Amino acid sequence: MSIEKRLKLARSTAPDDALDRVIDAAAREGLLDVAYATIGSPLGEWLVAATPRGLVRVAFADTFDDVLEELSHRVSPRVLESPSRLDEIRRGFDEYFDGERRDFGFPLDWSLVKGFNLKVLRATAKIPYGGVSTYSDMARRAGSPRAARAAGNALHNNPIPLVVPCHRVLHRGGGLGGYGGGLEMKEFLLKLEGALDQE
């Protein structure tokens, strides 16, 4: 029986350990390029996806189907749900939301980002826990000091939010700016990290 048929059968009938063995076999045979899982948080469910190079995508609950389609088109059609392959990332998220982790430290796969956007996001990844920056500063660090609006667009399209902490980027006057998960989520994250006062 081919690995593809075993995967279909395992999805519908196998206990978790059997499914893990089939997914491991898929990985050995080169049929697993992107593993994904959903994880819970105080802010709802998130989807996380990783390639052998590292974490490639983090998404909010209302976008899961679109994200999986994007991954299959832009990274590889070999996308499989594999929670056990993402245990370290899930643990990191739990520790972050419990206030026990300040730096995720995961390897990242930047393959969904190019050019100026990549420069902005690499600069954003260096903003420390509890710190904030501005859109204009991110543009400057990316080599285009006058491109604050373009930096904002790059941050809005960040494929790895939270881990690449676009929530730490504010307007120059201190206003929150925007956030893909909504301003309430951005405010929650900044308060969790101590960058905004708790009310």
The catalytic site residues sit at 166
End-to-end CA distance of the chain: 60
Tokens of 18: 């059997």
Q: What is the 3-state secondary structure (H, E, C) of the chain?
A: CCHHHHHHHHHHHCCHHHHHHHHHHHHHCCCCCEEEEEECCCCCCEEEEEECCEEEEEEEHHHHHHHHHHHHHHCCCCEEECHHHHHHHHHHHHHHHCCCCCCCCCCECCCCCCHHHHHHHHHHCCCCCCCCEEHHHHHHHCCCCCCHHHHHHHHHCCCCECCECHHHEECCCCCCCCCCCCHHHHHHHHHHCCCCCCC
Task: With beta carbons less than 8 A apart as the criterion, state whether 19 and 80 touch.
Answer: no
Report the half-sphere exposure of 195 (CA within 13 A, side-chain side).
22
